Structure 1
């Protein structure tokens, strides 16, 4: 029975990429509308006949496939996706939850760590007066569609490991930390603190109506300058992410100039590289690298490695050791081994041989 359960889990995981591609196709069409209205989403849902995604599942596969579809849709409801894609993920979760054929209906797993992100998303939608987003989210709460868990995925012993999938780059929200840090409320608070600071400086100043230069510790136009800096960064970010214009002649000429500058830079680097001798590697450091510098009228300089053969030990001995006279003749004669091991001289051997003859 456990083996059959593991087999069904493996089959469900094989459907994950197909479900993910279908969800991304629907969200891509919803993104092109540049809208967050549920009416627009429902029209795309009906045109694609997305409710037929549950058709064809067998009885024992209904609950597993519903859990797979809801988990896939829930991944688009959470960061790092932008606000429109997260709204589309919310609509997709609601539609799949209402159209599933599992009884009782399968709930949407939501980890406790994602609760703060969901509440922040609800606050942003409420501040922007997106009432249809708030209505759909409240409907999910009313129908008890969420199951708050410790982990976002269901853990089991020896469960088939799910490979992490790549995120869709077009759905990911661009980094906007400066805009989040420097918001309207913070600028208003900073402006009030700046006014109080100016009043305190005027109160402690010895001369009435004139501030001492020693107490001017911050810029007077701090708040407007901070706001303008954030706006300039936002405009630069929009221009950087905007698609390039191919029709403009100025862009073409600038790109050509950039290419020519890069080509000149590469040629200068290559000329410098070939004009100098390269450092030898560790295995060839005993070989000397010689650079033949020719004259301007002569041929081009040739780089090459010249190998100097070291003289043998016999040649160095003949060159450094000088022997003359009879010693040199004795040195050239061959020495026998038994002569080295003999303890008596040649004359004693001869005398003994003569005595024996007598």
Structure 2
């Protein structure tokens, strides 16, 4: 009598999911301090032993694939709708990840043209507010060529599927919007304008 073969697929190994939870905890803790000073972020980073995020990888190939996944998870926190403090923490987080990765040559952060424009607007806002820590870290990453400018956030293959799970951000890390902002948002105004034009 032949052994019965299980039809249940083996769950895919996803160590990066634990890292995502660590990111959420780190950024939430940093944001609660209410400051964008790098020294405060470094304190949280050390307390959580984030420098060892690559520990346990068995080969350079596995480490590279893991780091690529981790970097893909980190970038969305640097973008809207994250709050200003979370975005500041995300930049510091990316700076730490880039410098503590155990991969040669180093993995870079993938950013699209639209994302880069948003990032530059954020950095200009930080500069205008004299947040020199943020400006220094950003400029250092640019000089170190830590960014790879791409057409899509993730590498695409013929069989690639759209995956939104990695870009999900907890509500408590997002920027709060007021009712006034909702009323006067560009999308709301565009809809109102469209309705007006159609009725005339």
**TM-score, structure 2 length as denominator?**
0.79
Change (3 A) 1:13 1:112: farther
Q: Which stretches in structure 1 are left out of the alignment for 5+ residues?
A: 1-9, 183-358
Q: Which residue of 2 aligns with 1:35?
A: 35
Q: Which stretches in structure 2 are left out of the alignment for 5+ residues?
A: 1-9, 185-200
2:16/2:66 contact within 8 Å kept: no
Larger radius of gyration: 1
CA drift at 1:58:
1.6
CA drift at 1:158:
2.4
Structure 1 runs of 4+ aligned residues shifted over 3 Å read 10-13, 159-163, 176-179
CA drift at 1:11:
8.8
Give distance in 2, aligned partners of 1:172 and 1:99.
27
Give distance in 1, aligned partners of 2:176 and 2:29.
20
Output aligned runs, 1:165-204, within 5 Å: 166-176=168-178, 178=180
Q: Which residue of 2 aligns with 1:84?
A: 85
CA drift at 1:17:
1.8
Q: Which residue of 1 aligns with 2:154?
A: 153
Change (3 A) 1:11 1:46: farther
Q: Cα deviation per residue 1:56-111 (whole Å; 9 max; x = unaligned)?
A: 10212011111111111111001110100000000000000000001000000001
The two structures, once aligned, show a CA RMSD in angstroms of 2.5
Provide the aligned length of Structure 1 versus Structure 2: 173
Output aligned runs, 1:48-63, within 5 Å: 48-59=48-59, 60-63=61-64
2:81 aligns to what SS in structure 1? Answer: coil
Change (3 A) 1:112 1:87: same
Say if 2:34 is the partner of 1:26: no
Q: Which residue of 2 aligns with 1:112?
A: 113
CA drift at 1:176:
4.9
1:26/1:44 contact within 8 Å kept: yes
